[in-house]
Chains A and B, each alone.
Chain A
Amino acid sequence: MFAIGFLGVILRKNTLVLFMSLELMLNAVNLALVAFSRYNNTMDGNLFVFFIITVAAAEVAVGLAIIVALYRKRQTVMVDELKALEN
């Protein structure tokens, strides 16, 4: 699932789909953490997943606010049209 999210981040041009693939990668890491915490018979992995979910939710909120501000400025969300930093 991590590799699928990685390919999604690289290959898609829509910023929103980029963001969703990022969330997919975080989700894959959560799954791996919970599986390993169950395997090692410890609760630490579950707690870390709790924190990861919280941080990811905060990151999504801020990132989407940035995308909305970007859209208001440039009127597009396609990554190849956001070319203001290119030389």
Chain B
Amino acid sequence: MTDLLFYFFSLVALGAALVMVLNPNAVGGAMAMIVSFVATAALFVLLEAYFLAIIQVLVYAGAVMVLFLFIIMLLDVDKVEAAYRFDRIGTLAAVCGFVLLASMLVVGLSSSHLPVPPTELVASNPDVISQSSGIPFTSSSKSFGYSLFTKYMLPFQLVGFLLLAAMLGVIVISKRAAQVD
């Protein structure tokens, strides 16, 4: 049953990604992107990362794609001209892209397996955080918050600064362009 769900959601995610890339219409592409994000969130649920699945739907499919749709609405994109590049650089880049796809498929589907990592019991080793082997996997969001505030405190604060800088940048860029008109 889990296998069936995995195949279904991964096919939906890949299919929606293909539709997004190949669709000459930008709005249709954005809709397909939303479908792809929701399918990826379902794959996260299958991988027992429940908190990340909800965050993915809220932030990516909710905020980012809505922002995209607003901008597509604001900028008039005419659909009559050709949407793809067909010049020399385009064909060369397309060949590189297909080589990338083929190499990833060949490596991913080959029969060599990853080495199984040694499993440790948490109960016999109470000092887990100070080890360099990483934080053990749980599906609860409590360990998420715990690791955010202990092991990953520095990236957490830096990302806060980054968001502040991004907000300021967006406001400044929009304002300066308005004064040109």
Residues in A lying within 8 Å of B, measured CB to CB: 1-8, 10-14, 16-17, 19-21, 23-24, 27, 30-31, 34-35, 37-44, 46-47, 49-51, 53-62, 64-69, 71-73, 77-80
Total interface residues in chain B, CB < 8 Å: 75
- Contact status of A16 and B72, CB under 8 A, knowing A7-B97, A7-B101, A10-B93: yes
Give the dominant DSSP class at B's interface. helix
Considering only CB atoms, which chain B residue lies closest to A43 in the complex?
B135
Q: Does B5 contact A (CB under 8 A)?
A: no
A12-B83, A41-B137 given; A62·B72 CB < 8 A? no
Q: Chain B residues near A11 (CB, 8 Å)?
A: 21, 84-85, 90, 93-94, 97
CB-CB under 8 A for A34 and B117, given A20-B29, A60-B67, A65-B173: no
- B97 CB, nearest partner CB in chain A, Å: 4
A/B pair count, beta carbons within 8 Å: 200
B71 within 8 A of A: yes
User: Does B20 lie within 8 Å of A24, measured CB to CB?
Assistant: yes
Q: Is B119 located at the chain interface by the 8 A CB criterion?
A: yes
- Whether A49 touches B135, Cβ cut-off 8 Å, given contacts A7-B21, A13-B85, is no
